[in-house]
Amino acid sequence: MLRKRKRSLRPIDHPSSEQQLVGLRAHAQAQKQSTVERLRTAITSLQAQQQPISARTIYQECGLAYASIRRNPEAVLLYQQQSTFLKRERKRTRTACPDTASSRDPLLAYKKPDLVARLRQEQTCRTELEMQYASMLADYVQRDVKIAELEAELARSREYFEGLRMTVQQQEHQK
């Protein structure tokens, strides 16, 4: 049987361990700065080429994986500010305000002077239509009056002819 060694519970006291930690911290800081600089360079290059800024295009440009960016808060902030997709998302959330009218309303796209001009044009068209309707109504009223007059004349004529026919019939019966 193998025996396990007991480890001592006292801390290991190396004279160079504090110096090593300082060196490791300095190296980690340098790596973070290097990551941020590589990311800045890649973003500038992608913008110059007019390519979208995404994790994939950054990796293709400088070989910097998204996991490396994610571990560095300064690099994450820079990526989020410059990402093409995230910019689109921010624009969408800015324009979609629940307090305002529907963003699908096409009249919201007009400027105020354009709306005023359009309103005046519609008012002019409405006034012209109202005048046309008024003249058409007057014509219909005149026609109705004329029809009523003609119907009254027709009724008088029928009455006259009916009376004339009766008179003729009576004269024939008397003969």
pLDDT at 99 over 80: no
CB 66 within 8 A of CB 55: yes
Q: Which of 133, 113, 51 is nearest to 85 (CA)?
A: 51
| Core vs surface per residue 98-115: b (16+ CB within 10 A) or e | eeeeeeeeeeeeeeeeee
pTM over 0.75: no
CB 45 within 8 A of CB 61: yes
pLDDT at 41: 92
Read off the pLDDT of residues 20-73 as tens digits, 9 standing for 90 and up: 888 888 998 999 999 999 999 999 998 899 888 888 999 998 898 888 888 988
Got the DSSP string for 15-39?
A: TTHHHHHHHHHHHHHHHHHHHHHHH
124: amino acid identity, one letter:
T
pLDDT at 9 over 60: no
Of the two residues 104 and 165, the one the predictor is more confident about is 165
> For the chain, what are the domain ranges?
22-109, 119-175
Report the number of secondary-structure helices (H) and strands (E) in the chain.
6, 0
